[in-house]
């Protein structure tokens, strides 16, 4: 089961919940204030891989091209 991130519209608290994919957008109570006025946030992630020389390289996430050591990407013009 994936971990989803939520934000409470009432108090602004951010929290995570382990739920089945079928329940990702089902109502959920804020653990801080108890409100059901919550919404699921877009979760960001980063993945790392090792190059043939053993160097760790970033292969995903939100850091952008400025910190990427790859020489070409499907979504990049390098």
Instruction: Please give the pLDDT value at position 22.
Output: 96
Residue 67 and residue 61: Cα distance in Å, rounded?
11
List, edge to edge, every strand of the sheet that includes 3-8.
14-18, 3-8, 38-40
In degrees rounded to 5, what are phi and psi of residue 59? -120, 10
Q: Is the pLDDT of residue 61 over 70?
A: no
Structural domains for the chain: 1-61 (2.20.28)
Reported as a single tens digit per residue, the pLDDT across 28-60 is 999 999 999 999 999 877 677 777 777 766 665
3-class DSSP assignment, residue 65: helix
Binning pLDDT at 50, 70 and 90, where does residue 73 land? low
> How does strand 3-8 pair with strand 38-40?
antiparallel
Chain mean position to CA 78? 25
């Amino acid at each position: 089961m994936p971990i989803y991130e939520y934000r409470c519209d009432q108090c602004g608290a951010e929290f995570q919940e382990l739920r089945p994919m079928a329940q990702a957008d089902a109502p959920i109570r804020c653990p801080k204030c108890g409100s059901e006025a919550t919404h699921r946030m877009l979760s960001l992630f980063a993945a790392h891989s090792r190059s043939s020389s053993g160097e760790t390289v970033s292969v995903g996430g939100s850091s952008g091209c400025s910190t990427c050591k790859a020489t070409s990407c499907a979504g990049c013009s390098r």
